[in-house]
Structure 1
Amino acid sequence: MAHEKCNKIHMKNVPYYDRPRERLLREGAAYLSDAELIAIMLRTGREKETAFQLAQRLLATFGDIGGLAQASHAELTDIKGIGPVKAIELQASFELGRRVLEFSRNQRTTIRLPRDVANLMQHELRHLTQEHFVCLFLNTKNQVIGKQTIFVGSLDASIVHPREVFKEAIKRSSASVICLHNHPSGDPTPSREDIAVTRTLKEAGELIGISLLDHVIIGDGSYVSLKEQGYL
C-alpha cells in the first residue's frame, strides 16, 4: 500500500511532457514527439525513470527513430529497462508502421492537375509560419513516389539551388518534379523571387532530363500554379 501511495504521489509530480497519454488525448497523436509516442508503447519506465525518459534514452542510444526501428531484439534487450516483452512490442509496432508505409506506397497519388497538388499538400503547408519549399517526385505515370522539404525560410534563387532539388530527384529515379511552397501571409500571389526560382529550376531540369511539371504556391485556402500562370 505504501508503495502504491508513493507511486501516485510521484505521478502527480511528473511534468506534463512526461505524460504523453494525456497529451495524445488532449492534442492528438500527430502533435506528439517520437519520444512521447515510444513512451506510450513502453507504458512504464524503471525506478526513478519515467517511460518518457526511457524513450529518450532509447532514441539517444540508437541515434534516431530510424535507428531504433532497425534494432534487433538482442540490441533492445541490452538497454536497461527493456525486457524481452517490451522489445517484442517495440519490434511489432515498428513492423506495423513499415507495413502501413508499404500499403501507402501501393496507393500512390496520381497528379493530373495543379489542384491535385494543392489537395495533397494544403493541409500540411497552409498554416506554417515560415516558408517551406517542398518537392514532390513523380514516376512516368505521374504518381508521387517521394516528398522532400528542401528549404525552410524566405525563398531566394541563390538559396534554393537546383543541385539540391535534382539530387533528390535523381536519388529517387524520378521522371519529373513538382515544387511547391507556402506563403505564410495566406496570399499565394507569386513574387519575383518565386518566378526566378521557377525559371532556374525549369532550365536545370531540361538540362538533365527531369521535367519541372509545376511550381504551386499554397495560401490560406487557395493556391496558384505557376504553370497555369504561364511561367512554365
Structure 2
Amino acid sequence: MIADKPLMLKELPKEERPREKMLTKGAAALSNAELLAILLRTGGKADSVLRLAERLLKKYEDLGLAGLAVLTPQEMRKIKGIGLAKAVTVAAAVEIGKRLASLVPGARPAILSPGDAANYMMAKLRYETKEHFIGILLSTKNHILAAPTISVGTLNASLVHPRELFKEAINYSAASVILVHNHPSGDPTPSTEDIELTRKLVKAGKILDISVLDHVIIGDNKYVSLKEKGIIA
C-alpha cells in the first residue's frame, strides 16, 4: 500500500499554517515542529517544511527539544533538506534561547552562592559536547561584570592558561572571579586535572590580588562546587 503523500504547507488550511497560527493564537499554541518550521521557512520538493522540522527533531528524539542544543550546524546539514542557511538559523535561535535562559532579573545580577553560579551557566553549558571554560568576573559586591569563554577544549579536556583568564579579569577591573566549566559526560565530579588547575589559578589570582572564589563544574542539570568540597579555602 502506498503511503499518503504528505500535505505541503500551502495545502493546509490557512489558519493551520505555522506563521498564521502564531499570529492568531500566539507562539505558545504551536508545537515544537511548527515553531521549528517557522525558522526553516521552506521544505523541499518531496517534503513539507513541517515534515522537515519533524525529521530534524527526530535526530535526537530521546532528548526531545533539547536535542537541538547538541546539534552543530555541520551535523544538521547531514539531514536531507537542511542547507547552510537553515542550519545556522536554527543554531542561532538555540543560542538566543540559551542566553535568555541564563538571564537573571534585575539590572546586574549578583553571584552570592555556588548555586547562583551554576544556575547562571547551566542553560549555556549543560548540553555542550566539548568542555567550555568560563570565568565569571565579579565586582567588589559580587555583581557580574562579564562571563567570557576562556577556552574550548576537546571531549574531555579544557586547556586553560592563567594569562588568558586574568587578562580578561584585568580588562574588566574585576575584583574576583568564579571559574566554571562543563563536563560533557553529564557527571560533574571533579577530576585530578580539575583540582590541579584550580589550585594553579587560585595561586595566580593571589599574586594579582584577584580572588578565585570558586570553581563550579556543570553536569547535566547538576553541579559540583570545589569551594563546598573544601578544595578552595
Same fold, judged at TM 0.5 (above): yes
Unpaired runs of 5+ residues, structure 2, are 1-36, 42-49, 58-64, 70-84, 86-103
Q: CA deviation at 1:105?
A: 10
Query: Residue in 2 aligned with 1:200?
Result: 200
Query: Residue in 2 aligned with 1:113?
Result: 113
2:191 is the counterpart of 1:191: yes
Equivalents in 2 of 1:135, 1:199: separation in Å? 15
Equivalents in 1 of 2:167, 2:105: separation in Å? 21
Unpaired runs of 5+ residues, structure 1, are 1-19, 32-51, 53-103
Equivalents in 2 of 1:112, 1:106: separation in Å? 15
Which has the higher mean CA deviation after the structures are superposed, 185-194 or 106-115?
106-115
Aligned partner of 1:23 among 40, 45, 50:
40
Q: CA deviation at 1:21?
A: 5.1
Q: CA deviation at 1:155?
A: 3.3
Query: Residue in 2 aligned with 1:14?
Result: none
Taking structure 2 as the reference length, what is the TM-score of the superposition? 0.55
The aligned runs of 1:1-232 (5 Å cut-off) are: 22-23=39-40, 107-153=107-153, 154-155=156-157, 159-232=159-232
Structure-2 change in CA distance of 1:209 and 1:128 (3 Å): same
Counterpart amino acid of residue 115 in structure 1? G
Equivalents in 2 of 1:149, 1:190: separation in Å? 19
Give me the CA root mean square deviation.
3.5
Secondary structure of the 2:160 match is coil
Q: CA deviation at 1:23?
A: 2.5
Contact 1:135 1:179 in 2 (8 A): yes
Counterpart amino acid of residue 217 in structure 1? I
Q: After superposition, what is the alpha-carbon deviation per residue over 1:145-198, rounded to whole angstroms, capped at 9, x for unaligned?
A: 101111111436xx3110000000000000000111001111100000000110
Q: CA deviation at 1:230?
A: 0.9
Contact 1:105 1:145 in 2 (8 A): no
Equivalents in 2 of 1:155, 1:227: separation in Å? 21
Percent of aligned pairs sharing the same letter: 53
Equivalents in 2 of 1:147, 1:216: separation in Å? 13
Counterpart amino acid of residue 183 in structure 2? H
